[in-house]
Each structure stands twice: as C-alpha cells, then as structure tokens.
Amino acid sequence: MTEYSSNRPVLEVGATGYVGGRLVPLLASRGYQVRAMGRSLEKLNCRPWAHFPQVETVQADVRDLKSLVRAARGCRAAFYLVHSMIADKKEYAQADREGALNMAAVTAAQGLERIIYLGGLGDKDDRRLSHHLRSRHEVEVILASGPVPVTNLRAAMILGSGSASFEMLRQLVERLPVMTPPRWVDTPCQPVAIGDVLEYLAGCLENDRTAGETLDIGGPDVVTYRDLIRIYAEEAGLPPRMVIAVPVLTPYLSAKWIHLVTPVPASIAQPLAEGLAIPVVCRDERVLDLVPIKRTSVRRAIRTALEKVLTHQVDTCWYDAGELLPPAWAACGDADWSGGTLMTCGYRVRIKAGPESVWNVVHTIGGDRGWFYAQPLWWLRGLLDRLTGGVGSRRGRRNPEEIGVGDAIDFWRVLEVKDGEKLVLLAEMKIPGEATLTFEIMPFPDGTTQLTLLSRFLPKGMAGIIYWYSLYPFHEIIFFGMAKAMARATKKPICGKPRRFTPRIAGSCALP
C-alpha cells in the first residue's frame, strides 16, 4: 500500500461506466478512499458499492467546470475513464476535447498528484487510424499538457462479461452459423481481459514509477477476429462457424449489419469496427516490469466472461454508461407548460397478497422473463425498433433479479426505483414523442395490495398524435392483459379483473 491510499481520496471519473463500475469496488477492497463521480447521482447510488464506507459518490460532468471542481476538491489522484462512443465524429471529438481540457485545468488547480487515463491502442501515425482512436490520442496530449503527471494506458479490445466487444462477439457467433464479415476479420489484435485492465489501473496507482508513462496493455495472445470466433464457438460448445471474408463492407455497413444481429447499436458498433480495421498490438511490454501481473489468455477470458453471463453475475454492462435524461414532465406528468398534451393509459388490479409478493413480480419484468402478456407483440415491437435504428429489445437486462436506476430493460431505461413500491421506466425506442411506464404498489389495511400500470406519452407533433391513437386499441389490450398476468404471477387470489382508470386531472400526478 502506498501513500496514495491514505487520507485524501482517489477521484474516479466515469464511475458508472463499464470499467469504472468495476474499478470502484476493487480500489475500496484495497483500502482506498474512493470518490466515485458520475453525471447521475441516482445511478451512482444504485450501484452495490455505493454504500461502502470507503466510497463517496458525487454528481458532476467533465464538461461542467464548476461541478468538476467540486468533485476534485481534496483528492490526491484521479482515474479518467471517460470517452464518447457515438458515431458522429464531430460530436464525440468535441466532447472528449472539452472534458480533457477541463480535467487538466481542474487537477492542476486542485493540486492532484496523478492522473491515470485509459485510452486505446493504435499507431497515431497510421493514416487508417479511426477517428475514435485519434480522439483518444488527442485526450492523452491534452491531459499531459498540464503540470499533473499522467499515466496513459492503451488497450485494444477488452474481453469481459458485459463489454461491448464481448457482447458483439457473443451475439454474432451464437446467432450466425455462417458469417460474411469484412476483411478486418483477419487483422491482428491483442485483446485484454477486463480483470487484467483493472489490475493494471490499480497497479499504476500503487507505483509512482508509472507517472508520466504511456504504456501498452494487452493479453498474452495476438489473434484475429476469426480466431476469436473460433475460440468462442469452442468454449460455448457450438459447431464450428463458417467465416467468409468479403472486401466490400465498409465500417459503416459493418456497423449496420452488427446493429441488426446484435444488441450493440450502430453508433457503438461503428467505432468498434473501425478499431478492428487496423492492427492493434502492443509495441512493448514495459508495463509488466512496472505492474507485474499474470496475464489472462484469450481463451480463459472468453470462458470466464461466458460463465458470468450464464450465471447472471455480470457486474457492469456496456450500456450502463451514458447520461440519464428523464423528460421534465415525468416528475409529475405536467406537460401543459411544454406545449403538449399527455396521453395516458392505465389499469389497476387488487390482489390478496402482501406488497412483497407483488414486488417480486414487478421488479423481474423484461429480459428473459418477458412482459408477462402478448410476448410476440413485444418481440415484434423490438424488431421494428431495431430495423428503424433503435436499440431494440436484445439488450435484455443485466441481472434477472437486481434492478437499479439507469439499468437497461430491453428498450426501456429504469428512471426510478422504490423497492416494494414503485418502478418507472423511460422508453428508449424510436417513437415520435416521450413515454414512461410506471408500476406502483399500494397495500391496503384489509391485507390486499393494488398493482397499478400507467403508460404516459407526450407526443411530438402530428406524427406523435397519430402514433398514439393508432396504437391505442393495442395499448388497451396489452396493459389489461399485463395487469392480469402479473397479478396471476403472484400465485395469490385476484380481487376481480383489472379496471381501467384515468388520472383525475390529465397530466397530473394525482390518481383517484
């Protein structure tokens, strides 16, 4: 244990992300005081580690200078685990640039002693280098322009349960016995296991000699994507996959193809595909002298990740990151001020059961369990959303039992959770408006419990109004059926059939 573990906390920027969400508990287990930073305090506080005595959560945004100053105040070192993964190169490059400039300025002003940044492998002089990797290298330069020593760790593909790279590989191999990927399928890369990445990050904090260094990190194996497909199929017990490389698919077209076949959206698939188009191999292995670890082979990394997925022990997922943007009207449903009319469809049913029994049904909705009623229609809705460029329903959910603010559930995002009382979902499918789906549980003195389902939709323009009314008959059937099926799933007697209700004042929070 070095001096970095004493007194002043370590700031972790990007604590709700895939890597950041796993690094926090690792640092805490080693005795560090960790200040976990994210843009949503609700998302942070729903993480299992949020209430560890060594962990402090703070809401801030790297593009908001004042909030970043508050977050960094009093810290000794910082992990910078923020980068954009969106297809619009102008947007992500500018976002990364602004965040890095703010980080460099704030850490200097607040007297931090170290910055540790996780970037990407790739030769910066290679003309084929993707825009995303160029942006990562630019962030390195910006962070290093200040007086605070920076450790740059450069990684290629990260293999681990829930990582975008692993999920893309898993879905492609499991769904397609015959694949026709682009020529990048034979480009060499050096994947690294997520466990090794975490050990490198923590190890750099514990070794002052890594300050000011740029270090390549990777696993012991240099492979191609074709090799990864073969190894995954073997580990998953699948028949060998036929892979036929074709020369005509660009990264853009590859991303669209990946979008249709896997849960990874095109906005993330495109930078991943671009990164695979050039060799990403470690140039040196100095990091092993500074942070000696036993590296994980590609086969072992895939085996471990697959085991985690099959046993529902996925700690973080690629879709954990991102800002939670609840519509302003969702707090109390008042849409009048925004120039819109809130459309609602609600049903409620009473069950001869305690609230715990009802909540046990509500909080497991989505994913493999489905939506209790008219599952083919939910599947079709997800497919249509995917075909039109939306997230679709293949994301499922990270854990069939655990649920927290910011979690993805098919094409919804958890907006609010009150254990045993309330679950609010925000629609992320492509629709001409904004929508939420609320489940509320209310116990009564006679021992019964009322389950309420309320769908709310704020249309955008005439398209939104037409969308709502064209689907309204289906909403009536589906939500009635859902309320009844969820009540039956408690395995307790039902007090009559579900009843339709309308909020007393359209667009208000009050219910009769």
Stronger pLDDT, 318 or 58, i.e. the higher one: 58
User: Tens of pLDDT along 260-271?
Assistant: 777 777 777 777
User: Contact 448/332 with Cβ under 8 angstroms?
Assistant: no
User: Tens of pLDDT along 170-227?
Assistant: 989 998 899 888 888 899 999 999 999 999 999 999 999 999 999 999 999 999 999 9
* CATH number of 329-501, picked from 3.30.70.270, 3.40.50.720, 3.30.230.10, 3.30.530.20: 3.30.530.20
User: Contact 170/304 with Cβ under 8 angstroms?
Assistant: no
pLDDT score recorded for residue 334: 46
User: Tens of pLDDT along 74-101?
Assistant: 999 999 998 865 544 557 788 889 999 9
pLDDT score recorded for residue 52: 94
* DSSP β-bridge partners for residue 500: 347
For a pLDDT cut of 90, what percent of the chain falls above it? 59
For a pLDDT cut of 70, what percent of the chain falls above it? 91
User: Tens of pLDDT along 237-249?
Assistant: 999 999 988 876 6
Closest CA relative to residue 264, chosen from 377, 182, 167 = 167
At the fourth CATH level, which superfamily is domain 6-318? Answer: NAD(P)-binding Rossmann-like Domain (3.40.50.720)
Question: Average model confidence (pLDDT) for the chain?
Answer: 87
pLDDT score recorded for residue 160: 95
pLDDT-derived band at 70 (thresholds 50, 70, 90) equals very high
User: Tens of pLDDT along 122-167?
Assistant: 777 777 777 778 888 899 999 999 999 999 999 999 999 989 889 8
Please report which residue ranges of 224-364 form alpha helices under DSSP H.
225-235, 251-261, 266-276, 287-290, 298-310, 355-362
pLDDT score recorded for residue 1: 40
Stronger pLDDT, 342 or 211, i.e. the higher one: 211
Stronger pLDDT, 354 or 273, i.e. the higher one: 354
pLDDT score recorded for residue 505: 44
Q: Which two tokens stand for residue 8?
A: 């002043």
CATH 3.30.530.20 residue spans of the chain = 329-501
Residue 509 pLDDT > 90, yes or no?
no
Strand order in the sheet with 214-217: 55-59, 34-38, 10-13, 77-80, 114-120, 150-155, 214-217
Q: Which two tokens stand for residue 181?
A: 């990927």
CATH 3.40.50.720 residue spans of the chain = 6-318
* Alpha-carbon torsion (108, 110, 113, 118), positive or negative: negative
Across residues 478-499, what is the average pLDDT?
Answer: 95
- CA dist 498 and 487 (Å) reads 9
pLDDT score recorded for residue 336: 43
Q: Which two tokens stand for residue 1?
A: 């244990």
Residue 328 pLDDT > 70, yes or no?
no
Measured in degrees and rounded to the nearest 5, phi and psi for residue 80 equal: -105, 100
pLDDT score recorded for residue 510: 33
Measured in degrees and rounded to the nearest 5, phi and psi for residue 350 equal: -105, 140
- CA dist 479 and 468 (Å) reads 14
User: Tens of pLDDT along 277-325?
Assistant: 788 899 999 999 999 999 999 999 999 999 999 888 888 887 776 666 6
Residue 4 pLDDT > 80, yes or no?
no
CA separation, residue 92 to residues 18, 83, 121 (Å): 18, 8, 18
Largest CA distance in the chain: 73
If you ran DSSP here, which 8-state letter would residue 447 be given? S
Residues in the chain: 512
